[in-house]
Structure 1
Amino acid sequence: MFVLVTFLTGCSTWFSRDFHEPEIQLTNIELVYARLLEQEFLLEFRIDNPNEHSLPVRGMTYNLDINGFSLGRGQSNQWLTVPANGSARFELRAHTNLWRHLKNLVALLKNPDQPIRYSLDAELKTGLMFNKKVPVRRQGSFTPGEYLHNSY
């Protein structure tokens, strides 16, 4: 009985007003391979948990746009636990076909020191028994010149 009460008390935190939604940031984009009709990128994210209890994450769906065109979309079923008042990192592989955006990409990479805008729309699946979906929308920028040397 004690275990059940303790478990339910912990779960109630996610349904109370004391729950603060986690922050998610795109921290790195790495080109894994590039072929004419398919590219693979490794996307690295950081989740920050501002709550007093650990946050079990059971997956994520996402859509990532770069300067207005889709870099990748998909889902991950990766499980991880973000510590209370802490952060955790995870990686996703994104497959895309940038052929139709080639002209725009070449123009962007001609000036590798110019920032490129990104937009991330995601939904974190949290919880163990009681699932809660946390919508996330982030915008930011990155400078390709900081990452290009890692691809060669």
Structure 2
Amino acid sequence: MRFLTHQLLVPFIVLLTLAGCAGITYHAQPPQISLNNIQLVNAHLLEQEYALTLRIQNTNDFPFFIKGLSYQLEINGSEFAHGVSSQSVNILPYQEAYLTVSLISNTLGVIRQLESLSGTNKTDLHFRLTGKVSHGTVNIPASMYSLPFVKEGTLNLNTLLKK
């Protein structure tokens, strides 16, 4: 009798456990990330460092704990700068937070951008910020998931220079 119980009970418990795990799915939406500010911090001969302030909005109905992120900034279709950050931030549902991260560009990229603007009357700069957000929970030190993000827009130089 005991042998029969083990033969029936153990597979039943395993199937029940697997069925319970099948309902656990992850449906997080990527956060809305936008540029808030960019400021030159250091300028060296071959590279420049900027402080990039990002506005991060949690559009989910649960807390979103960011473990780190990687990002690239393109201007007028060319890569301008890139960076990574291991800063962590916990954003409550439907809340926002600001995160200041480091952004590195090389001198050749800056020169290319200046060349593309010289000789033209372009006053609009198209930018595209792309990257990945690693996130998980506060209690687990490792990242559980990674979600991509994209933010595009246009900056008008005439408006920026009037201030």
Category of TM-score, reference length = shorter chain: 0.7 to 0.9
| Aligned equivalents of 2:62, 2:115: Cα separation in 1 | 45
What is the deviation of 1:35?
3.3
Higher Cα Rg: structure 1 or 2? 2
State the partner residue of 2:85: 76
| Aligned equivalents of 2:71, 2:58: Cα separation in 1 | 19
Aligned mate of 2:107, from 78, 98, 111? 98
Aligned mate of 1:136, from 149, 157, 160? 149
Sort the Cα spacing of 1:137 and 1:32 in 2 relative to 1 into closer, same or farther, 3 A. Answer: same
State the partner residue of 2:34: 25
* Deviant stretches of 4+, over 3 Å: 106-113, 143-150
| Aligned equivalents of 2:58, 2:154: Cα separation in 1 | 22
Q: Secondary structure at the match of 1:102?
A: helix
Structure 1 length-normalised TM: 0.73
| Aligned equivalents of 1:64, 1:29: Cα separation in 2 | 11
Aligned mate of 2:135, from 119, 126, 130? 126
What is the deviation of 1:65?
0.9
Which amino acid is the alignment partner of residue 143 of structure 1?
N
Structure 2 length-normalised TM: 0.69
What is the deviation of 1:105?
1.7
**CA-atom RMSD, angstroms?**
2.8
What is the deviation of 1:62?
1.0
| Aligned equivalents of 2:40, 2:115: Cα separation in 1 | 15
Between the two proteins, what is the percent identity of the paired residues?
Answer: 26
Where does the alignment leave 5 or more consecutive residues of structure 1 unmatched?
1-11
| Aligned equivalents of 1:35, 1:28: Cα separation in 2 | 21
Q: Residue by residue, what CA displacement relative to the aligned partner does 1:83-132 show, whole Å, maximum 9, x if unpaired?
A: 21110110111122133542532664899992311111110001123611
> How many positions carry a matched residue from both structures?
136
Where does the alignment leave 5 or more consecutive residues of structure 2 unmatched?
1-23
